[in-house]
Amino acid sequence: MSESAPTRPRITVLAGPTAVGKGTVSAYIREHYPEVELSVSATTRDPRPGEVDGVHYHFVGPERFAQMVSAGDMLESAVVHGRNSYGTPRSTVLKAADEGKYVLLEIDLQGARQVKESMPDAHFVFLAPPSWDELVRRLVGRGTESAEEQQRRLETARIELAAESEFDVTIVNDDVRRAAEALVREMGVPTAPRA
């Protein structure tokens, strides 16, 4: 019997409600799995303290963002929480995928739906909170948004939680390391037990 052909890594899309821990899980993967290519999105939102341009996001103005969209430079883009624009630069994602890298996109539900249209073979992972109360605790505890913005994000969160069944798999983020290790396994990244 002939050996089966090696499978190429699929692009993985990670979505989930605000403050569930997508960024925290991605940061764990950045630190522990440098072979994973984390897509760096463009956004019109202002940087939070500690966020680095080109690492966490490409921080751009609304005009530059609109130019990128109209030039077809975005794989997907959306206005998230009714306020700022976010988008995935197409060329870096496709180049990394062509090179056979494990690519991870951390994006919102609208973006995930757009990627599903253009790349139905991608792998769609939903990150869920242990409970609604814990989600609220994390959002408030992060302390990066005003009370008004927190309210807006929680309204979006209700919509995003209702869309969980659109995803291939759900990972509950009850523990960052456990959730991140589950995600890299879902991505097919070779893993070794870690101390």
Ligand X SMILES: Nc1nc2c(ncn2[C@@H]2O[C@H](COP(=O)(O)O)[C@@H](O)[C@H]2O)c(=O)[nH]1
The binding site for ligand X (CB under 6 A) comprises 18, 22, 41, 45, 76, 78, 80, 86-88, 106-108, 110-111
**Which residues are part of a known binding site for ATP?**
16-23
Q: What is the three-state SS of 33-49?
A: CCCEEECCCEECCCCCC
Which residues, listed in sequence order, are joined to residue 88 by a DSSP beta bridge?
76
In the complex, minimum distance from the CB of residue 74 to ligand ATP, in angstroms, rounded to a whole number:
19
20 binds, among ligand ATP, ligand X, none (CB under 5 to 8 A by kind): ligand ATP
In the complex, minimum distance from the CB of residue 6 to ligand ATP, in angstroms, rounded to a whole number:
33
- Pick between residue 98 and residue 148 the one whose CB is nearest to ligand ATP: 148
- Pick between residue 132 and residue 191 the one whose CB is nearest to ligand X: 132
- Residue 34: HSE in the Cβ half-sphere, 13 Å Cα cutoff: 0
166 contributes a contact to ligand ATP by CB under 6 A: no
The CA distances from residue 180 to 30, 53, 177, in Å, are: 10, 24, 5
Question: Sheet holding 58-59: strands in order across?
Answer: 58-59, 42-43, 84-89, 74-80
Q: Which residue is nearest to ligand X (CB)?
A: 111
d(CA 111, CA 89) in angstroms, rounded, equals 12
d(CA 121, CA 11) in angstroms, rounded, equals 8
In the complex, minimum distance from the CB of residue 168 to ligand X, in angstroms, rounded to a whole number:
17
- Pick between residue 21 and residue 87 the one whose CB is nearest to ligand ATP: 21
In the chain, alpha helices (H) = 22-32, 62-70, 90-98, 109-118, 132-142, 147-161, 176-187
Which residue is it, tokens 């303290």?
49
- Pick between residue 50 and residue 54 the one whose CB is nearest to ligand ATP: 50
Figure out which of the listed residues 13, 89, 173, 180 binds ligand ATP, where binding follows CB under 6 A: 173
- Pick between residue 94 and residue 191 the one whose CB is nearest to ligand X: 94
The residues of the shown chain that bind ligand ATP, judged by CB under 6 A, are: 18-24, 138, 141-142, 173-176
